[in-house]
Structure 1
């Protein structure tokens, strides 16, 4: 009898931990997301309606004027922000009573109200707002482009990760995640900005310093207009670079011999294009960044160009930038020139071209093109260009 009593007591002691209440964590569950021109777009719910929001680890909570007009949220004190051209802009601020991301409901969140989403080319994404860094305090943020799933959770055990795939992550004074990686063999912290479409971009000043120190630095120089900013003015001609990278190591994954995206005035960064090569997990709770490649030995796509790019302004294509020492530059093309036709197709009377902007202009699929343009002296020129490939 004593033995039976002892076994019953022992069984109770062994099973007791399983009867304890497990703490419930906030979790969106697996949500679908789109990657359009390297912009991460998720569905969110406000007032039982579904909207399309950009996920930007470097941004803040924002709603469009259209959403504000629908719900007329209570206004708070306006916010002053500094755009990419370092111009101060005062923006209206409101309180959103509730916004839902999957199974997770966020209450009484301050948001700025922006009209940017109604302006071309941002209007091409058909966005209603942005989820930013103010949603990512002590959470796990996960993206898997192979399965098109996004997840935000407080439960650090719910997403499967491998410690060999991780690298240290710390937050900057602006709240952006900075990743410790090895760039050309040297340890360095670089921002992860999911609002950027880059894979990796260096800082312009850093590239210029490296160019002055070494003649062996492989960097492509471009002259033109790059930064439009929230204010959409003060666009200045500047130099940007694409730099040849020998190696970039994230955790146990290394990418070798590729050209970076365009250099940035502000800081080097890793952007959303990295999602095309592997699953990304940001552990804001414990300070880790995980990158799990979809397949081994992946190579970054080579840079292909005719030596120039275009943008739509005032109803026509204009030359956005020109590659130094390219045939386009040698034959007289400059930033700001007006493009009249490409391969005998007129480029006049174009207010918007969302398909071309989002998917790449059709002429870029050709190997050789004819461009007719007006230079800054008003002289019409016709030139033939062949595609250049940089690997």
Structure 2
């Protein structure tokens, strides 16, 4: 079941570089909830849980803005993971620190908005790439630590695993990688995306023409939840990628979804396979695999349809071609394997899900359709 794929991408960014000091290497521990990285940062003296999102801009909730007693000084337009636009307020925080106090960012701007995922994850905002424009960060998912260093890292320049940022990316970690032996795709390294790779539709069309990937499923469904709300209905496509190379690391035979993000997203799940270093000063990205050799990405099975919570009910969110005509997006699922589905919040669906869908590769759904109630069998493959 896919509930949330892309949380927050705020592009078209400008970056304000506040006064920054980091005399030592700061260690920023994180925990993972629903494939989201949760850190603690000290904002104007208060220790606050935040989501760490390299694809987003630093932001705080409306309630935190009020709690800190800061005033709005301007606003700007942002674009989320579904390419939706919205005008958001901006406040300046006098002091932002890592919990160990070794990295300090003074007079730094934060966007202000309320996002339904904040309460689900127990956070009050986002720490994004804009905060680290004078730093180098290293992310190690095995130790669940982010290391923050002042300035750039000179050793990256001569490392064959290092990839330069693309031109005119506004300081975001956007770079090119190889799909197959010859074809390139431009991606944003986005820890806020819980996918391994989420393809921008234009990029998919180009790569399909070049035979760098193969379509395995097509259907119809709604968008994921982005910063400005859920995306609209549209065509859903699932592809298989035979090979993708990031620096010197080769990923083999994996699946990726196609959608409407502003950039193709190289997401959080990539951190399961290696350590990432981002030198924002010199605009360099490095991926270091945990194991030598070609990397076999875990092949995620998908159901014949996907479900999501709407109004505390489980509804059909995506219908793949195999079930076209039998059910529609928005139909209500009332029972699974004869057992009634209890009312569930969006937060519960994201953080807990339904165990029966995790434990089985085939289930029977009772679905309320426009033609009446029917039972359908769905498979995971």
TM-score by length of 2: 0.84
Task: Measure, in 2, the Cα distance between the counterparts of 1:89 and 1:338.
Answer: 31
Structure 1 residue 232 displacement after superposition = 2.4
Q: Structure 1, residues 232-282: CA drift from partner, whole Å, max 9, x if none?
A: 26x422112222111111122101111124444533221111111110001
Q: Distance in 2 between matches of 1:86 and 1:367?
A: 33
Shift of 1:107: 1.1
Superposed counterparts of 1:244-259, under 5 Å: 244-259=240-255
CA distance in 2, matches of 1:85, 1:155: 33
- Name 1:19's counterpart in structure 2: none
In the aligned structure 2, how far is the partner of 1:111 from the partner of 1:309? 35
Match of 1:337 in 2: 331
Contact 2:187 2:266 (8 Å CA) reproduced:
yes
Is residue 307–residue 318 contact of structure 2 (8 Å, CA) maintained in 1? Answer: yes
2:286 aligned to which of 290, 296, 303: 290
Instruction: Report if the CA contact (8 A) 1:146-1:294 is conserved.
Output: no
User: Partners of 2:151 and 2:212 in 1: how far apart?
Assistant: 50
Q: Residue 152 of structure 2 contacts residue 280 of structure 2 at CA under 8 Å; is this kept in 1? A: no
- Asked if 2 retains the 8 angstrom alpha-carbon contact of 1:201 and 1:264, the reply is no
1:112 alignment counterpart: 111
Q: Tell me, in whole angstroms, the C-alpha distance in 1 between the residues paired with 2:173 and 2:156.
A: 20
Structure 2 segments unaligned to the other structure (5+ residues)? 1-20
The question of 1:380 aligning with 2:373 is answered yes
Kindly indicate whether the alpha-carbon contact (under 8 Å) linking 1:192 and 1:271 is maintained by their aligned counterparts in 2.
Answer: yes
Deviation at 1:161, TM superposition (A): 10
Residues 136 and 321 of structure 1: CA distance in aligned 2, closer, same or farther (over 3 Å):
same
Give the C-alpha shift of residue 100 in structure 1.
0.6
Question: How far, CA to CA, are the matches of 1:135 and 1:218 in structure 2?
Answer: 38
Q: For residues 93 and 35 of structure 1, do their structure 2 counterparts lie closer, same or farther at Cα, with a shift above 3 Å needed?
A: same
Is 1:181 the equivalent of 2:177? yes
- For the residue of structure 1 that corresponds to 2:26, the secondary structure is coil
Structure having the higher helix fraction is 1
Match of 1:5 in 2: none
- In structure 2, C-alpha distance between the alignment counterparts of 1:156 and 1:181, rounded to whole Å: 22
| Per-residue deviation, 1:358 | 2.5
Return the index of the structure with the highest Cα Rg. Answer: 1
Q: Is residue 361 of structure 2 the alignment partner of residue 367 of structure 1?
A: yes
Does the C-alpha gap of structure 1 residues 209 and 105 become closer, same or farther in structure 2, counting only changes over 3 Å?
A: closer
**1:207-229 CA distances to partner (integer Å, 9 max, x unpaired)?**
34665787993332131002443
Q: Which residue of 2 is the match for residue 309 of structure 1?
A: 306
| Residues 149-207 of structure 1, C-alpha deviations (whole Å, 9 max, x = no match) | 10121254599998243223235444322223211112443222222222122222343
Matching of residues 58-73 of structure 1 within 5 Å = 58-73=55-70
CA change 1:231–1:291 in 2 (3 A) is: closer
SS in 2 for 1:67: helix
| Cα distance in 1, alignment partners of residues 31 and 151 from structure 2 | 24
Q: Deviations over 1:315-373 (max 9, x none)?
A: 20111112222xx446x12211111111223235333452x423543122212211001
Matches within 5 A, 1:12-51: 25-51=22-48
The answer for the alignment partner of 1:191 in structure 2 is 188
User: Which of 207, 212, 217 is the aligned partner of 1:220?
Assistant: 217
In the alignment, is the contact (CA less than 8 A) between 1:58 and 1:175 conserved in 2? Answer: no
Q: CA RMSD in A?
A: 2.8
Number of the residue aligned with 1:125 = 121
Deviation readout 1:101-130 (Å, 9 max, x if unpaired): 1311111111122111xx2x4422111111
Closer, same or farther in 2 for the Cα pair 1:169/1:90, shift >3 Å? closer
Q: What is the rounded CA distance, in whole Å, between the counterparts of 1:87 and 1:218 in structure 2?
A: 26
Look up the SS of the partner of 1:35 in the other structure: strand
Unaligned runs of 5+ in 1: 1-23
Q: 1:83 to 1:279 in 2, by over 3 A?
A: closer
Number of corresponding residues: 356
Residues of 2 paired with 1:290 and 1:210: CA distance? 24
Q: Say which is worse superposed, 87-96 or 58-67, in terms of deviation.
A: 87-96
Q: 1:353 to 1:245 in 2, by over 3 A?
A: same
